[in-house]
């Protein structure tokens, strides 16, 4: 296996161009090392950890720019993330163990493109965008079109994810990330649901609703029909029930060793209901009527 | 392809070669003969391979040996001062927090890292600090006792 430690983005892109599909990019290594030990070694490993400037979190107008090499622990311990993007903070806090959070990077979690990736549904509901470097220039891709299937994203084999831009949610909005797993944070989610709502100024109805579903389809996804059903309406008990059932119908889970597809759909329904209830109460100070 | 790794282990400068695909755990155990760090799940789930890497606890099984280049690493062998055990090690003995012992080095390293961060950890901080370490013998209660005792002694 060939091994490279590029010192610049351009150097990394040149290596990707030369080695193509047999190259594997590694940063923290918490996923890639398991593949190397239990699946197969790639022809060539490109360790991007030595590229300077990719590990910072900084304010950029009304958004946060997060470098791809930022570790999950950096997110978890960042006052800016906790204050401005609590949904992303919650996911970072429920992300595996401290040992893993100290090593794993947000860029790795994203590029792994696992349907259950902990940070992905929060990024989806926050309307975050990826900045990807290619040989012919930089491209910005919203996460709603970033994921193409398990392990597949628009980064492909020639691109390098360099940063994530996450706009601050609207004033008065409330979000939550709910994860269903047997062994708490350590486990891969059976289902993960992120909900972000913004009430109208009178706090009577849902001005904006975003629901992200994880581990229940080939990619993490937004429950867009459910969002459309809820938008502009007050959250009533009947609407909550209808929305939760609709979110479950928008998922297309598989059965595997962690749970059956049927069970996952039940959990999507339960977590969507719980997420909407919690955020509605937090944002409006009212119970669902 | 073989690479040369220059690193600092328990305060000692070390230089050795390794295959590029080698994990830090394999490098420590098989190349440098630091056998105190344990191989268990090899997927970053059990914490038996925990070492302190530039001040932070990490799973050495899912870290590239190449990333040890220029880094400072503390393994279980680096804790005792000659024959005098580190307070965390002594606390594990005093409270009976060790049964088969296989997970113990990983626990002690996680606890050392915790007590480096804070000398007065809350129960919640203790539980979080070792949530990435699995013990199949003790039922965890005595491990928590040991951590509280170590915190008192430090």
Extract the tokens encoding B46.
């059990």
Contact call for residues B64 and A29 (beta carbons, < 8 A) = yes
Q: Å from A104 to nearest chain B CA?
A: 10
Contact call for residues B50 and B133 (beta carbons, < 8 A) = yes
pLDDT at A186: 80
What whole-number percentage of chain A has pLDDT above 70?
100
Restricting to A residues 115-174, those with a Cβ less than 8 Å away from any Cβ of B are none
Give the number of other CB atoms < 10 A from CB of residue B43: 15
What whole-number percentage of chain A has pLDDT above 90?
95
Extract the tokens encoding A76.
């978890």
Pairing of strands A44-47, A2-4: parallel
Which residues of chain A have a CB within 8 Å of the CB of B1? 1-3
Measured between alpha carbons, how far is A34 from A103 in angstroms, rounded to an integer? 14
What whole-number percentage of chain B has pLDDT above 90?
99
With an 8 Å Cβ cutoff, are B62 and A29 in contact?
yes
pLDDT at A184: 79
Extract the tokens encoding A277.
């209830």
pLDDT at A187: 83
CB of B53 within 8 Å of any CB in chain A? Answer: yes
pLDDT at A104: 98
pLDDT at A185: 77
Which residues of chain A have a CB within 8 Å of the CB of B3? 3
ipTM value for the complex: 0.96
Which one of A29, A98, A186 has the shortest CB-CB distance to B63?
A: A29
pLDDT at B19: 96
With an 8 Å Cβ cutoff, are B57 and A33 in contact?
no
Residue of A nearest to B52 (CA): A99
The stretch B71-77 carries a mean pLDDT of 98
B-interface mutation test, from A43, A50, A98, most B Cβ less than 10 A away: A98
pLDDT at B1: 87
The stretch B33-49 carries a mean pLDDT of 97
With an 8 Å Cβ cutoff, are A26 and B64 in contact?
yes
Residue of B nearest to A42 (CA): B21
CA distances, B54 to each of A9, B75, B86, B131 (Å) = 25, 12, 19, 20
Which one of B64, B110, B131 has the shortest CB-CB distance to A33?
A: B64
CB of B3 within 8 Å of any CB in chain A? Answer: yes
- Give the tens place of pLDDT for each residue, B90-131: 999 999 999 999 999 999 999 999 999 999 999 999 999 999
Extract the tokens encoding B78.
């680096």
pLDDT at A2: 95
Which one of B3, B47, B66 has the shortest CB-CB distance to A99?
A: B47
Q: What is this structure's pTM?
A: 0.96
Measured between alpha carbons, how far is B106 from B85 in angstroms, rounded to an integer? 16
Residues in chain A where the model's pLDDT stays below 70: none
With an 8 Å Cβ cutoff, are B53 and A185 in contact?
no
| Alpha carbons within 13 A on the beta-carbon side of A113 | 19
């Amino acid at each position: 296996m060939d091994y490279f430690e590029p010192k610049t983005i351009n150097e990394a892109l040149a290596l990707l161009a030369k080695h193509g599909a047999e190259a594997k990019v590694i940063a923290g290594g918490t996923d890639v090392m398991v593949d190397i030990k239990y699946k197969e070694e790639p022809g060539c490993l490109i360790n991007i950890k030595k590229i300077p400037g990719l590990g910072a979190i900084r304010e950029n107008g009304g958004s946060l720019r997060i470098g791809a090499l930022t570790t999950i622990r950096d997110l978890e311990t960042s006052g800016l993330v906790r204050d401005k993007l609590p949904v992303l903070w919650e996911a970072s806090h429920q992300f595996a163990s401290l040992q893993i959070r100290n090593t794993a990077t947000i860029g790795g979690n994203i590029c792994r493109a696992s349907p259950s990736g902990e940070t992905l549904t929060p990024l989806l509901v926050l309307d975050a965008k990826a900045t990807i470097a290619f040989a012919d220039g930089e491209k910005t891709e919203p996460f709603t079109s970033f994921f193409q299937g398990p392990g597949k994203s628009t980064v492909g084999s020639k691109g390098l994810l360099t940063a994530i831009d996450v706009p601050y949610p609207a004033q008065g909005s409330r979000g939550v990330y709910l994860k269903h797993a047997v062994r708490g944070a350590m486990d891969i989610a059976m289902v993960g649901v992120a909900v972000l709502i913004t009430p109208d100024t009178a706090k009577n109805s849902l001005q904006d609703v975003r629901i992200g579903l994880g581990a229940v389809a080939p990619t993490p996804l937004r429950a867009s029909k459910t969002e459309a059903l809820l938008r502009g309406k007050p959250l009533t008990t009947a609407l909550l029930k209808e929305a939760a059932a609709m979110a479950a119908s928008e998922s297309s889970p598989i059965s595997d060793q962690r749970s059956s597809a049927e069970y996952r759909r039940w959990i999507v329904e339960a977590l969507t209901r719980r997420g909407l209830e919690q955020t509605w109460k937090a944002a409006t100070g009212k119970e669902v009527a | 392809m073989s690479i040369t790794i220059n690193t600092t282990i328990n305060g000692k400068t070390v230089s050795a070669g390794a295959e590029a695909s080698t994990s830090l755990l394999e490098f420590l155990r098989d190349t440098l003969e630091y056998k105190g760090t344990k191989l268990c799940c090899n997927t970053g789930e059990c914490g038996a391979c925990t070492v302190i890497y530039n001040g932070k606890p990490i799973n050495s099984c899912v870290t590239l040996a190449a990333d040890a280049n220029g880094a400072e690493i503390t393994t279980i062998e680096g804790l005792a001062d000659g024959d005098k055990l580190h307070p965390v090690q002594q606390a594990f003995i005093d409270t009976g927090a060790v049964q088969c012992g296989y997970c113990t080095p990983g626990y002690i390293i996680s606890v050392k890292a915790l007590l480096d961060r804070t000398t007065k950890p809350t129960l919640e901080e203790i539980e979080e600090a070792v949530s990435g370490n699995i013990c199949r013998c003790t039922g965890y209660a005595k491990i928590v006792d040991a951590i509280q005792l170590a915190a008192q002694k430090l």
